[in-house]
Amino acid sequence: MPDSAPGASAPKETVPVGVDPTRASIARVYDAFLNGKDNYEIDRQVMYGVLKVAPEARDLATENRNFLIRACRFIAAETGIDQYLDCGSGLPTAENTHQVVQRFNPEATVVYVDNDPVVLAHGRALLEEDERSHLISADIFKPHEVIEHELVQKTIDFTRPVALLQCGTLHHYNGPRAAPAEIMREYISLLPSGSYVVISHFLDPEDEHSEVARKMEDVFVHSPMGSGTFRTSTELAELFDGLELVPPGLTRCADWWPDGPHLKPLSQAQYCTAGAVGRKP
Ligand code: SAM
């Protein structure tokens, strides 16, 4: 349940210096969808707008987050990879990438990348105690800026396989529709052979659920957050160009190695987010 109804007076909030509480932020809207506490009224208003056209829209966020966690568990348990680059990390949540993978390998290193001042403040506080996890400020849509960042170069050994995450991020790129595929091609070209890439993204399922996808897109794009493109599975497949997809391939997040059988029919929003894990040969 939302913690305040639309139009209700906002709860007392402390706004960090340098943060504009009159502009919605992707990270804080996502936090609101996940029932987090690090969001402002302007962020919740974006969520309420989406819930109006798609009452089950919270599933977009929870399926995305659960997919990320399962993909990280898989990589940590099955591939031996011990270095992770998590692009667009988001606000700290219940299970963060370093916590998931360090359960399998306490030596695993994680570099988080984000550009949201609230994420940077909260993330750095969370990571203070963990010398194997770091958070840098960079533009995740500029692969060279990320990979060549001093801390990334110091922390990650690019002669060994890396896991690169772009979960719930590329649909926030505001520019030419085909650009995210180019961005991913550039990232993939910079990764060593044997690396894994995890991507999740809003999906236009091109079936009876397309209408709700288009409605959610319309609200997101015209909201104070200003982004959220739903791409088709053909467009999403292009993000994995040059990679071998781990079974079951590109699929709805809800269907990527779920924790158990689905006993209930999927919600409309569950049809509208997809992901895959690929390996660079
Ligand atoms: N990856 C997390 C997940 O899947 O649970 C969080 C996804 S959240 C929807 C997207 C994150 O990407 C936000 O924290 C946002 O600040 C970040 N982001 C968006 N555009 C960015 C950019 N150009 N550079 C760095 N971070 C960006």
Per-residue pLDDT tens digits for 58-91 = 999 999 999 999 999 999 999 999 999 999 999 9
Which helix (H) or strand (E) segment holds residue 112: the answer is strand 109-114
Separation CA 255–CA 203 (nearest Å): 13
* 4 pLDDT more than 90: no
| Terminal Cα-to-Cα distance of the chain (whole angstroms) | 45
Owner of token pair 């995210």: 180
pLDDT in tens, 217-228: 999 999 999 999
Predicted local distance difference test score (pLDDT) of residue 151? 96
Contact between 63 and 254 (Cβ < 8 Å): yes
**3-state SS class at 244:** strand
What separation in Å is there between the alpha carbon of 261 and the centre of ligand 1?
Answer: 30
**3-state SS class at 68:** helix
Supply the mean pLDDT for the chain: 94
Predicted local distance difference test score (pLDDT) of residue 91? 95
What separation in Å is there between the alpha carbon of 96 and the centre of ligand 1?
Answer: 13
Q: Is residue 143 in contact with ligand 1, taking CB distance under 6 Å?
A: no
Which of 19, 25, 114 for mutating ligand 1's site (highest number of atoms within 8 Å of CB)?
114
Q: Is residue 168 in contact with ligand 1, taking CB distance under 6 Å?
A: yes
* 112 pLDDT more than 90: yes
Q: Is residue 30 in contact with ligand 1, taking CB distance under 6 Å?
A: yes
Distances (CA, A) of 154 to 8, 109, 134, 157, 158: 48, 11, 11, 8, 10
What separation in Å is there between the alpha carbon of 88 and the centre of ligand 1?
Answer: 3
pLDDT band at 20 (very low <50, low <70, confident <90, very high): confident
- Identify the residue with better confidence: 89 or 6: 89
Predicted local distance difference test score (pLDDT) of residue 5? 41
pTM for the model? 0.94
Predicted local distance difference test score (pLDDT) of residue 19? 82
Separation CA 128–CA 42 (nearest Å): 29
